[in-house]
């Protein structure tokens, strides 16, 4: 009897023990993986007025002129800007008012600041002629900067530039709706993409087949106008229908709205004008003696967009907003004896250092111009 009891107990122990060992050997539950995301930061016109170049020469680099924004660039996967100047010191002439030329150091300084891709399709693209446009392309390539909207011929200019980050492929294309000088000739020589709606739509559809998302840069609109034209809205609608996810606009030198909408089940957005990033425009503005509107060309915005992979074959625009920017310029202080040397610097208005007057008024002004777009959460200092 005791022997049967001991045997039964031994069997129960074996079953429970084996079961326990088998249970402990089960693999841990898989940890859900974060979906792939790409963070883009986009700014507006990079203008090479004489005083901008002079300040950079004094400081030894262009980087100090926007060092306050560099941390934002460094946290992005892709940084875009509109290069509204040739870089042609070898083949071009010295820049004069309204005809730009940048020193050879500019592309390298932009690259070190975090820029990855630039549009070269704008009304100043041919300021230094066809050779100046080719030289610009050479310097950008040498410094490792991608560029869109121009090329050694039409075919290369119209070819999308595809950047890949975190497994997401984004195609970039660029056009300008206006020229100061148009040197395009039959597509066999240096070319800057002129906006032709049907042609642009065909290019966007083709790019959509090669990439997960499509971003289009367009130089358009009317200078110093905060309201997009009917043409801007019509072109944006056609490009969205063709497959564009995000349109980055520039040329007005002031801000225009950031708008989002649904297009065939996906979220799309257009920043009609990003304003100036760096310039010497509205240099005479002084808040204590002028109306807010007289400083609008010194307002800027850094649009921040995040793309996310929702499925193996689907990438979407997840969220978009902006960081308000302002160009400090001490021209008036120099004129009145309040400063001994010229200073021009782009600053972030979401910083603790830039919360008082007159910064609060400029920030409110930017909110009004970018509406219905929203400022992203202020930087934690």
* Residues 253/283, Cβ–Cβ less than 8 Å: no
- CB count in 10 Å sphere of residue 259: 19
99: helix, coil or strand? strand
pLDDT at 66 over 80: yes
Predicted pLDDT at 20: 45
Predicted pLDDT at 5: 42
Virtual CA dihedral for 152, 193, 126, 146, nearest 10 degrees? Answer: -60
Query: What are the sequence ranges of the domains in the chain?
Result: 37-370
The CATH architecture annotation of domain 37-370 reads 4-Layer Sandwich (3.60)
**Global confidence as pTM:** 0.90
pLDDT at 74 over 80: yes
pLDDT at 381 over 70: no
Predicted pLDDT at 281: 98
Predicted pLDDT at 380: 45
Predicted pLDDT at 288: 84
Residues 6 or more apart whose CB falls under 8 angstroms from that of 93 comprise 101, 128
Predicted pLDDT at 354: 72
The strand pairing partners of 164, in sequence order, are 169
Per-residue pLDDT of 244-256, as tens digits, reads: 999 999 999 999 9
Residues 365, 297: Cα–Cα separation, whole Å: 12
For residue 78, the number of C-alpha atoms closer than 13 Å in the C-beta half-sphere is 26
């Amino acid at each position: 009897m005791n022997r049967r009891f001991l045997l039964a107990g031994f069997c129960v122990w074996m079953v429970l023990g084996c079961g326990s060992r088998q249970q402990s050997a089960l693999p841990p539950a898989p940890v859900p993986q974060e979906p792939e995301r790409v963070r883009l930061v986009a700014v507006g016109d990079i203008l090479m007025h004489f005083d901008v170049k002079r300040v950079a020469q004094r400081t030894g680099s262009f980087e100090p002129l926007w060092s306050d924004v560099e941390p934002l660039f460094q946290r992005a996967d892709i940084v875009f800007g509109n290069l509204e100047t040739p870089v042609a010191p070898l083949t071009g002439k010295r820049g004069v008012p309204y005809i730009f030329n940048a020193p050879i150091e500019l592309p390298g300084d932009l690259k070190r600041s975090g820029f990855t891709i630039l549009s070269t399709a704008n009304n100043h693209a041919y300021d230094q002629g066809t050779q100046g446009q080719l030289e610009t392309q050479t310097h950008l390539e040498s410094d490792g900067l991608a560029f869109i909207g121009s090329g050694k011929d039409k075919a290369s200019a119209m070819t999308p530039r595809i950047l890949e980050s975190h497994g997401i492929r984004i195609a970039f294309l660029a056009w300008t709706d206006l020229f100061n000088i148009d040197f395009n000739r039959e597509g066999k020589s240096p070319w800057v993409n002129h906006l032709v709606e049907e042609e642009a739509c065909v290019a966007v559809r083709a790019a959509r087949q090669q990439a997960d998302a499509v971003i289009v840069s367009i130089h358009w609109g009317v200078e110093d106008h905060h309201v997009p034209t009917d043409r801007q809205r019509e072109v944006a609608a056609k490009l969205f229908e063709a497959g564009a996810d995000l349109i980055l606009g520039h040329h007005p030198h002031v801000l225009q709205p950031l708008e989002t909408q649904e297009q065939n089940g996906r979220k799309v957005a257009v920043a009609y004008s990003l304003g100036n990033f760096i310039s010497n425009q509205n240099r005479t503005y002084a808040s204590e003696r002028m109306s807010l509107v007289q400083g609008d060309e010194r307002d800027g915005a850094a649009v921040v967009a995040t793309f996310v992979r929702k499925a193996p074959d689907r990438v979407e625009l997840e969220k978009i907003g902006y960081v308000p920017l302002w160009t400090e310029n001490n021209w008036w202080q120099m004129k009145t004896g309040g400063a001994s040397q010229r200073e021009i610097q782009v600053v972030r208005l979401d910083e603790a250092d830039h919360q008082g007057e007159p910064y609060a008024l400029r920030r409110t002004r930017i909110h009004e111009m970018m509406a219905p777009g929203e400022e992203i959460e202020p930087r934690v200092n």
